[in-house]
């Protein structure tokens, strides 16, 4: 009898809203994480496999990395990717940051509609944007090349940078600007010495995000690239079409490593500043 009462009491102790304390919730979360990570981890693991013909573990080897590293076409594609990502990051960070700041600061008529249009590149399927760019470049008479890739990448990364900058500015204390103006600083000085330094973590996070998005993009790049202008993902795609060897795994692992480390840095910076805001 007392046991039953005690059992009930123990049950009550779990707050009904603390879903994380329930075993089925742990099971679901765990299952989801396995689903999310198992394929990627397997792919990375088999880049170190010494066996070629199938994904059967036969021993550790760096052979495929050596092969990927000595693959001239892959090399070239990697350099192209870096070139595209670097140039488009610089431009889209500058333009996106200004846009994010303006959207944070100003109210103007039809702002909701404007924002809707601005965010379209994030929500429409990539293939639609890719096709639109191809028709546009063709109609204007611009030949497809690395530069058309850069132009398209800038267009689809600007909204992402703007979103990040706006999130950063949401924690800004406007009285700092007022104080600066009261103390005699010009508008320009106030921007440069008060507002801009506050934006810097957002700028870094936005730039990293733009870089990763550009480096990772396949669909838009595939369509807007000129003949022979391979980027790293496009090259991986064409390698996949011919034969699936662990060399593709090795190349993919390199790309995963770069994008994940950059993303982690950006996210840690973002969580730092939100933490600072709460304290």
* Residues 89-128 interacting with another protein (rule: CB under 8 A): 94-96, 98-99, 101-102, 104-108, 112-113, 116-118, 120-121, 123-128
Pick the piece of the chain touching another protein (CB under 8 A) from 2-10, 30-38, 65-73, 192-200: 30-38
Residue closer to another protein (CB basis): 121 or 201: 121
**177 scored as a contact of another protein (CB under 8 A):** no
**186 scored as a contact of another protein (CB under 8 A):** no
**12 scored as a contact of another protein (CB under 8 A):** no
Closest CA to 19 of 6, 31, 29, 10: 29
The burial class, CB within 10 Å (0-12 / 13-18 / 19+), for 119 is middle
Least separation in angstroms between CB 1 and another protein: 26
Residue closer to another protein (CB basis): 63 or 115: 115
The DSSP line for 230-279 is --HHHHHHHHHHH---HHHHHHHHHHHHHHHHHHHHHHHHHHHHHHHHH-
* Residues 240-279 interacting with another protein (rule: CB under 8 A): 240, 244, 248-249, 252, 255-256, 259-260, 263-264, 267, 271
Query: From residue 75, how far is each of 32, 80, 146, 240 by CA, in Å?
Result: 36, 9, 16, 16
Least separation in angstroms between CB 66 and another protein: 20
**134 scored as a contact of another protein (CB under 8 A):** yes
Q: Could you give the CA distance from residue 165 to residue 119 in angstroms, rounded to a whole number?
A: 14
131, 167, 185, 269: which one binds another protein (CB under 8 A): 131
Q: Could you give the CA distance from residue 236 to residue 253 in angstroms, rounded to a whole number?
A: 11
Residue closer to another protein (CB basis): 86 or 267: 267
Least separation in angstroms between CB 7 and another protein: 19
Q: Could you give the CA distance from residue 124 to residue 41 in angstroms, rounded to a whole number?
A: 30
In the numeric block, the tokens 């846009």 are attached to: 99
Q: Could you give the CA distance from residue 226 to residue 145 in angstroms, rounded to a whole number?
A: 4
**201 scored as a contact of another protein (CB under 8 A):** no
6, 8, 34, 38: which one binds another protein (CB under 8 A): 38
Q: How far is CA 106 from the centre of its chain?
A: 27
Q: Could you give the CA distance from residue 143 to residue 104 in angstroms, rounded to a whole number?
A: 37
74, 233, 247, 250: which one binds another protein (CB under 8 A): 233
Least separation in angstroms between CB 146 and another protein: 15
5, 20, 183, 227: which one binds another protein (CB under 8 A): 20
* Residues 46-65 interacting with another protein (rule: CB under 8 A): 46, 53-56
Closest CA to 269 of 210, 200, 193, 172: 200
């Amino acid at each position: 009898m007392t046991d039953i009462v005690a059992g009930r009491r123990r049950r009550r102790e779990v707050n009904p809203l603390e879903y994380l304390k329930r075993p089925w919730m742990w099971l679901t979360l765990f299952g989801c994480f396995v689903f999310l990570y198992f394929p990627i981890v397997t792919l990375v693991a088999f880049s170190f496999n010494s066996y070629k013909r199938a994904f059967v573990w036969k021993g550790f080897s760096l052979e495929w990395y050596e092969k990927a590293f000595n693959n001239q076409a892959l090399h070239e594609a990697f350099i192209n990717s870096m070139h595209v990502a670097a140039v488009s990051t610089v431009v889209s960070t500058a333009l996106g940051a200004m846009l994010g700041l303006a959207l944070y600061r100003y109210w103007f008529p039809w702002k909701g509609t404007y924002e809707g249009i601005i965010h379209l590149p994030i929500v429409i399927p990539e293939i639609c944007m890719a096709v639109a760019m191809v028709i546009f470049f063709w109609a204007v008479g611009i030949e497809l090349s690395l530069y058309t890739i850069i132009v398209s990448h800038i267009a689809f990364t600007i909204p992402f940078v703007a979103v990040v900058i706006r999130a950063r500015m949401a924690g800004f204390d406007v009285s700092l600007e007022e104080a600066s103006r009261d103390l005699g600083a010009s508008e320009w000085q106030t921007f440069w010495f008060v507002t801009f330094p506050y934006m810097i973590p957002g700028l870094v996070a936005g730039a990293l995000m733009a870089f990763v998005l550009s480096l990772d993009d396949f669909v838009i790049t595939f369509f807007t690239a000129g003949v022979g202008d391979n980027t790293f993902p496009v090259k991986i795609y064409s390698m996949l079409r011919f034969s699936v060897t662990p060399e593709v795994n090795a190349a993919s692992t390199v790309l995963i490593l770069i994008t994940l480390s950059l993303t982690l840095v950006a996210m840690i910076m973002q969580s730092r500043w939100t933490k600072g805001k709460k304290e």
